[in-house]
Structure 1
Amino acid sequence: MPEEKTKFTTVESYINTFPEDVQFLLEVIRETIKENAPEAEEVISYNIPAFKFHGMLIFYSAYKNHISISIPPSKVYDTFKDELSDYKVSTSAIQLPLNRPLPLKLIKEMTRFRVKENLELAETKKSKKKE
């Protein structure tokens, strides 16, 4: 019978499953996002750490050779296309290799962009409801 996958209920329980060096990187990413989205709620979604602010804002997770920053459908990928060109990028995730320094300035800028983007979407939805 296959081993049951751990169901995480806290960000700490997720982070603590990794080696210390990876835990450190995940904490740095966590703090960078918190600092740049102070009103966002920290949650576990899809069994990985995430932040919510007027909808899902940003997810992060660790793997054997990289950390992934996942962003729901957004203009962030086009807006930061040049900055992301050094990384493996899919339609919803950016892979940050563990053997390279974290691009904290980029994570900061993308987080702020997502906060602004989600606020604008929330305002648009509110305006449409009034019509």
Structure 2
Amino acid sequence: MPADEVDEYLAGLDEPKRSTLEALRRSILTVVPDAQECISYGMPAFRVDGKVVAGFAAFKHHLAYLPHSGRVLSDLGDAISGYEHTSGSLHFPVDEPLPDDLVRRLVEEKLAVLGLDAP
């Protein structure tokens, strides 16, 4: 059922936001294929062992990757230097998905923060 909620969230978006976030969703699931999809704080998220390891959201002028940790983005430093970000969200254009290798690093960093092994 929770994956259906993520489907509904994405279905409510205009293009190119929808397809860009669908690409991010696939990229996250490549890293954590057994993650449970859910809605957390009104936004799509991915849980591993009951803990949120990644999320995303659409805003008016940008999209955001949400690591659900204030530490992940600061730990990645130069890897995210080309993107605007806050301590808790990485912003990217509505028509440009995050590179798969960056998504892998983001998810694996969050797994490490939680003390979970990457699959």
User: Shorter-normalised TM-score: what interval?
Assistant: 0.7 to 0.9
What is residue 12 of structure 1 aligned with on the other side? 7
Task: Report the RMSD for the aligned CA atoms in angstroms.
Answer: 2.1
Deviation, structure 1 residue 99: 5.0
Deviation, structure 1 residue 67: 0.9
Scaled by the length of structure 1, what TM-score is found?
A: 0.75
Superposed, 1:115-130 pairs within 5 Å as 115-118=111-114, 120=115
Deviations 1:80-99 (A, max 9, x none): 11011111111111111225
Q: Distance in 2 between matches of 1:121 and 1:115?
A: 5
- Cα gap change, 1:121/1:33 in structure 2, threshold over 3 Å: closer, same or farther? closer
- Give SS of 2:12's match: coil
Superposed, 1:91-102 pairs within 5 Å as 91-100=87-96, 102=98
Deviation, structure 1 residue 111: 1.1
Q: Which amino acid aligns with 2:24?
A: I
Total equivalences in the alignment? 113
Does residue 1:84 correspond to 2:80, yes or no? Answer: yes
- Asked whether the equivalents of residues 35 and 47 of structure 2 are also in contact (C-alpha less than 8 Å), the reply is yes
Q: What runs of 5+ residues in structure 1 fail to find an aligned partner?
A: 1-8, 123-131
Identity %: 26
Q: Which amino acid aligns with 2:82?
A: D
- Cα gap change, 1:66/1:85 in structure 2, threshold over 3 Å: closer, same or farther? same
Does residue 1:37 correspond to 2:32, yes or no? Answer: yes
- Give SS of 1:42's match: strand
Deviation, structure 1 residue 101: 5.1
Tell which deviates more after alignment, 12-21 or 29-38.
12-21
Q: Which amino acid aligns with 1:26?
A: L
Structure 1 runs of 4+ with >3 Å offset: none
Bigger-Rg structure (1/2)? 1
What is residue 127 of structure 1 aligned with on the other side? none
Q: Distance in 1 between matches of 2:36 and 2:111?
A: 12
Q: What runs of 5+ residues in structure 2 fail to find an aligned partner?
A: none
Q: Distance in 2 between matches of 1:92 and 1:28?
A: 21
What is residue 109 of structure 1 aligned with on the other side? 105
Q: Distance in 1 between matches of 2:55 and 2:110?
A: 12
What is residue 22 of structure 2 aligned with on the other side? 27
